[in-house]
Amino acid sequence: MTLRKVNISILVVAVVIFLLVLHHNFLGLSDFLKRELSDSNPLGLQPIDFIPAVPQRLADERNDKEISVVIAASDERLGGAIAAMNSIYHHTKSNVVFYIVTLNDTVDHLRLWLSNTALKNLRYRILDFDPHVLEGKVQVDPQKADTLKPLTFARFYLPNLVPHAEKAIYVDDDIIVQDDILELYNTPLKPGHAAAFSDDCDSTTNKVAVRGAGNQYNYIGFLDYKKETIRKLAMKANTCSFNPGVFVANLTEWKLQNITKQLEKWMALNVAEELYSRTLAGSITTPPLLIVFYKQHSSIDPMWNVRHLGSSAGKRYSPQFVKAAKLLHWNGHFKPWGRTASYAEIWEKWYVPDPTGKFSLLRRHSEAYEAK
């Protein structure tokens, strides 16, 4: 009888051990499946490359908190994105991870540029943007189909680009950072606000450089107030617009409010009704953002988006003011890598030569495609 009890006890222990091992393996499989599912993306924003760690020496020098920075990188403007990332990296000790959104035919060029230059220690993830996402949402002139730049809409899909982040920074490729990006990241957002922008009318930039701009920096400059759909929104035409080339996003709030779907709704409505102004709106990405974020956005320090360097207004800045700026933005027709732009020498300081030599030719012959 005693031997029988011992055998039963041994059997019970064996079953318990078996169940524990099975449970552990199940959890491991579950975690694996979650990771696999989280990497898939219904919008075609697929991860191509990821460098998860930096050398230990550099890791010890930098803070642990990850700061997600999203930037678009088209092949003809790749040097701009490279200079922007280089300036951000060298002005911070924070753990910055760049989410570089590009098209498939640019990936090899970008990877080579990053891995064979002084930028090899950057932490980054390359994401392939599928232009088909924009079908039915962007009006394309058949005679000017090549002027449509899909990557300008990448900022609309931030939660899909950085699905695990609670907060992210978006920057255009025509910027240079001159201070610690952590300060911009820590911009306080009011409750219920999904993003913080730099307002046009109240910015330090406009007080210094822009006079007599008229409707260019008001809502009426971007939206057609003759259309009933716009009038029904009851948005004041003289409301200050904001610049969407640099902003901080609360991605938790963005997802709660379904901001991406709201933006897509207004993009599709514009295709059907032509709601955007045909006169002064310099960017087709700005109008839907103005509608969705009307009186529902916070503000960033205007010195974190000192703009108009890509226009004649930039020539009015004093060297002292430019030096004090935390972020310089060459929005406008003149880019520092192409035609003559104000203070292009500052941009060149952060430019890393293209190991293929391809971009050096573009710098001589390129033209800016959009006055963002």
pLDDT in tens, 302-351: 999 999 999 888 888 999 999 999 999 999 889 999 868 999 999 999 99
What is the rounded CA–CA span in Å between residue 309 and residue 331? 6
List % helix, strand, coil for the chain (3-state, nearest 5): 45, 15, 40
pLDDT of residue 164: 94
Specify the residue for token string 């104000």.
342
Q: What mean pLDDT, rounded, does the chain reach?
A: 83
Distances, alpha carbon 231 to alpha carbons 82, 137, 291, in Å: 42, 21, 12
High-pLDDT (> 90) share of the chain, %: 63
Q: Tens of pLDDT along 182-207?
A: 999 999 999 999 999 999 885 555 55
Specify the residue for token string 């990557």.
151
198: exposed, middle or buried (C-beta count within 10 Å: 0-12, 13-18, 19+)?
A: buried
pLDDT higher than threshold 80 for residue 8: no
pLDDT of residue 314: 85
pLDDT higher than threshold 70 for residue 69: yes
Select from 219, 198, 188 the least CA-distant residue to 292: 219
With the CA atoms of 164, 170, 172 and 178 taken in that order, what torsion angle do they form, in degrees rounded to the nearest 10? -120
Q: Tens of pLDDT along 125-150?
A: 999 999 999 999 997 766 555 557 89
Three-class DSSP category at 1: coil
